Amino acid sequence: MFRSQFKHIGLLTRPQTPDIATVIHELADFLRSRYLHVYLDAEYAHTGIVHGQDMQKCRVVEDLGRHCDLILVLGGDGTFLSAARKAAPYRVPLIGINQGHLGFLTQVTREDMLNELSGMLTGKYLVDECLVLEASVSRQNKEIHHALALNDIVLSRGGAGQMIEFEVFINEEFVFTQRSDGMIVSTPTGSTAYSLAAGGPILQTALRAFTLVPICPQSMTNRPIVISDTCEIKILITKAGDARVHYDGQSFVDIQSMDTVILRRYRHNLRVLHPTGYQYYKTLRQKLHWGEQLV
């Protein structure tokens, strides 16, 4: 007999995902046939991507994290990052079903999703407890913006192209001053994204650490550093130009000179569930096109 660990399953996607209505139809039928409750994110449910018959099988809600004990993310890594920020406050686990290309975070393939889910729903999965970054931007000692990120939080110059200047403190201890195009503060999950392209190290997701990676620093002595996830990072922007703070490359806030950005580990990890055949280094080889074993 099929006994699912999860009873309330959310489906989250983006309207522009190719053929996504067909995928939702298959998943809704699969889950309902196992007497599970299916929820759709209201933001996308009424955009025409869901067939009328499927809408009747599912419950449309404003906040999936509040209603579900598992969310299936249908899309690529960008969709997964968006879902992660919504799910993190509720500690709801995510399973990524890849509809995109790269698929670092979405490990279940579209072709094999029903077979994989049959096992995963009954407890046959591997768990990644992923760190989440929390940032607070303050101006004149008043918070003006607050947000989360699964991959990275990036301080960068804007469209005018001027270098920015800032000071970095860790646990209130002054570390360095930098004049550069900006800095990436990355989680282990995000260490294979923008941070890697900027010369940062790859961190296994089980590590409890963050990386600080400069973006085109003026000084050749500025190098990436790795710090404990228990540290609080403070960035004081001394010359902003038209700088911004970006969250997972999907949202941003404009900042001014003498603004302060405080970054720390969010109080909850994000639980990401992988199929039992998932291997971290195999994923790196496949996605980064490293060489295969010689013998």
Is residue 295 exposed (0-12), middle (13-18) or buried (19+ Cβ within 10 Å)? Answer: exposed
Identify whether 69 is a catalytic site residue.
no
- Which one, of 175, 184, 12, lies nearest residue 87 by Cα? 12
In terms of Cα–Cα distance, which of 69, 131, 155, 142 is closest to 270? Answer: 131
DSSP result, 125-150:
-EEEEE--EEEEEEETTEEEEEEEES
Structural tokens at position 262? 């405080």
Phi-psi category of residue 78: left, alpha or beta, with phi > 0 → left and psi -120 to 50 → alpha: alpha
Q: Among candidates 195, 216, 200, 208, which has minimal Cα distance to 152?
A: 195
H helices present in 46-199, as ranges: 52-57, 64-67, 77-87, 113-120, 194-197
| Residue 116, token pair as written in the block | 């994989």
| Active-site residue, from 29, 54, 69, 77 | 77
Q: Which residues are catalytic?
A: 77
